[in-house]
Structure 1
Amino acid sequence: MKKLFITLTALALVALAACGNGEDQDSNGDSAEVEEKGTLTFGVTPWTSTVPPTKVAKLVLEDMGYEIEETQADVSSTFMGLSRGDIDIFMDSWMPVHEIYFDEYEDSVENVATSYDNADAGLVVPTYVDDIETVEDLKGNEEMFGNEIYGIEDGASATEMIDDFIEAYDLDFEQVNSSEGGMIAQAQRMMNNEEPVIFYGWRPHTMFNEFDLKIVEEPAGDFFEQSSVHVVTNGELANDHPEVYEFLSNWSIPIDDVEAMIVEIEDGADEEEVAQEWIENNQDHIDEMLEN
């Protein structure tokens, strides 16, 4: 009986050891997979247009086995992070406005794909401001707007462009800067009272869904022109994660879909649930972007 007990105990220990080895192998296998895939960092600027494409790409890459982190930063800091390798991917680079950053970091960042075209941007006024259609109409009418143009955060390339615009056309305006949300809130307060207001606008954005706006035309096109939105990566992504680079090289998303997702998110929907719904409704397109 004693021998039988010893034998059974030994067999149990062997079985437990075998199970433990299997778990170690599974664990090591999982660790190897995580190490192989690694962590990717997205730069996220404080613009509503950045969120939908970032969340869609994030969910796709997570399904591929990557850990995803997001770094909140203004656009200047985002490009600096890309150039240093602290940020891997930025889904919302506006061209030609962001050409200055590509010129500065041409050896360390890469423009890998056009996300969408036909992104209008410029100074906007409510449609009830009848006398303002073009930049020429602004000259001499600055007091109508309290001599203020409302813009987004300091450090954004659009902010510098608006300052250059004011100087080039010799306009008696001062740019008042805040966050995107702060700018929209100020403009909305004034529009609720049907006061004249001029501020920076762009598509995709819910402002064109919520308010009746018109872009102030600039016939010369020296400052504001139709933009395209691009995916940018740091210069090492192609070597470090070729399958991610391939996916992003094939990336595209319709501007109307981005705008529709922005509306849902601003109405209170969860960002990742909105992105997941878009993926499920556009799985064929996702598969095309994933093809090598």
Structure 2
Amino acid sequence: MRTKIAAMFFAILGCSSAHAQDAPECKKVRIADLGWTDIMLTNNTAEFILDALGYEATQTLLGMDVTYMSLKNGEMDVFQGNWRPFQDAQYKPFFDQRSVEVLGTNLEGAKFTLAVPKYVADAGIKDFGDLASHGDQFEKQIYALEPGSNTVLLDMIAANRHELGQWKVVESSEAGMLTQVKRAIARKQWIVFLGWEPHPMNLDYDMSYLTGGDVEFGPNFGGATVRTIARKGYAKACPNVAKLFSNLVFNLEYENHGMQMIIDQGQDAPVAAREMMRLNPQMLDKWLAGVTTFDGKPALPVIKGALGS
């Protein structure tokens, strides 16, 4: 009798383990990439983990519109770059019609608005409303990104909001803008520029974000959250991979440092992703909780082994 009960017990365990594993069609994991440095870091983190767990992960560089259509059409599986509220209006139908599904939030506290060096903030420039009365010191210029990326600022000037109607937006590349910031800081000159986080600028420069830009960029310094989304039905079809992606939660400090490796130090994104995992092994416990290899073994020791830790 005991033998039969034991046999039944282990049979049930075997069934449970089998159900926990993903189906063969889940082995290939197709991840959408936009070419943004933060997504390079998070995507390469996911790819390294998935490959070590026995999956075959690939990344495909796509535009934003194509990414959403590819998820809707089942041509991509996962996208880690659903920035909100930035994408809410344009891609609302995809969520309303349930063409895509949310696996989780992978970053909170992101921001995007105007910033100044800390010594400028210490001199009293803390709000959009403080800029106009110090126009001469700023040469009435706002340093921003390439043409086509600064509509919010151009509209602000055209509407003379914050009494900035006589100001000019200096449009440049990200690298060009940050070169101007670096030069100004070295000379202790006043400069106002587009700042955002996560980005290594937050480590490279002692900077302050301005309040008062809610109309232009939204509340909480243009505050944003970043979600991971997937094609419809993916979590049900591939629960183990979906569990991993729902667990992959980053923070600003992690992404700032990882992006610094890529942008400032010139490391390849896969190398930076692995190095950040080695430097932050405590992240692995949360990321791999409840996750297995493709053939059902515990994930954590496999990843630690792959990282040489």
- TM-score, length-scaled by structure 2: 0.68
How many residues align? The count is 257
Partner residue in 2 for 1:284: 285
> Quick one: which of 22, 28, 50 aligns to 1:61?
50
Residue type at the aligned position of 1:151: A
Q: What is the Cα deviation at residue 136 of structure 1? A: 0.8
Looking at structure 2, the residues matched to 89 and 183 of structure 1 have their Cα atoms a distance apart, in angstroms, of 32
Tell me which structure has the larger Cα radius of gyration. Answer: 1
CA contact (8 A) 1:248 1:289 kept: no
CA contact (8 A) 1:162 1:175 kept: yes
CA contact (8 A) 1:163 1:175 kept: yes
**Aligned partner of residue 120 in structure 1, secondary structure:** strand
Residue type at the aligned position of 2:200: T
Q: What is the Cα deviation at residue 199 of structure 1? A: 1.7
Looking at structure 1, the residues matched to 53 and 134 of structure 2 have their Cα atoms a distance apart, in angstroms, of 55
Looking at structure 2, the residues matched to 77 and 150 of structure 1 have their Cα atoms a distance apart, in angstroms, of 30
RMSD: 3.3
Partner residue in 1 for 2:8: none
Residue type at the aligned position of 1:41: I
Q: Percent identity?
A: 26
Looking at structure 2, the residues matched to 119 and 112 of structure 1 have their Cα atoms a distance apart, in angstroms, of 19
Partner residue in 1 for 2:125: 132
Q: What is the Cα deviation at residue 166 of structure 1? A: 4.3
> Quick one: which of 164, 172, 191 aligns to 1:171?
164
Residue type at the aligned position of 1:45: G
What 5-or-longer segments of structure 2 have no aligned partner?
A: 1-22, 297-309
Within 5 Å, give how 1:260-279 maps onto structure 2.
Answer: 260-265=257-262, 266-279=264-277
CA contact (8 A) 1:116 1:230 kept: yes
**Aligned partner of residue 89 in structure 2, secondary structure:** helix
Within 5 Å, give how 1:1-292 maps onto structure 2.
Answer: 37-46=27-36, 48-73=37-62, 75=64, 78-79=67-68, 81-106=70-95, 107=97, 108-129=99-120, 130-142=123-135, 144-153=137-146, 159-166=150-157, 169=161, 171-172=164-165, 173-218=167-212, 223-224=217-218, 225=220, 226-235=223-232, 237-238=234-235, 241-265=238-262, 266-280=264-278, 281=281, 282-288=283-289, 290=291
**Aligned partner of residue 128 in structure 1, secondary structure:** helix
What 5-or-longer segments of structure 1 have no aligned partner?
A: 1-32
> CA, structure 1 residues 192+166, in 2 after alignment: closer, same or farther (shift >3 Å)?
same
Looking at structure 2, the residues matched to 195 and 283 of structure 1 have their Cα atoms a distance apart, in angstroms, of 43
Residue type at the aligned position of 2:224: S
In the TM superposition, what whole-angstrom CA distance separates every residue of 1:137-177 from its partner, at most 9, and x where no partner exists?
12354454344433345666xx4444454456263244444
> CA, structure 1 residues 245+155, in 2 after alignment: closer, same or farther (shift >3 Å)?
farther
- TM-score, length-scaled by structure 1: 0.71
Looking at structure 2, the residues matched to 237 and 201 of structure 1 have their Cα atoms a distance apart, in angstroms, of 35
Partner residue in 1 for 2:19: none
Q: What is the Cα deviation at residue 289 of structure 1? A: 5.9
CA contact (8 A) 2:203 2:256 kept: no
Looking at structure 2, the residues matched to 142 and 85 of structure 1 have their Cα atoms a distance apart, in angstroms, of 52
> CA, structure 1 residues 81+123, in 2 after alignment: closer, same or farther (shift >3 Å)?
farther
Q: What is the Cα deviation at residue 268 of structure 1? A: 3.6
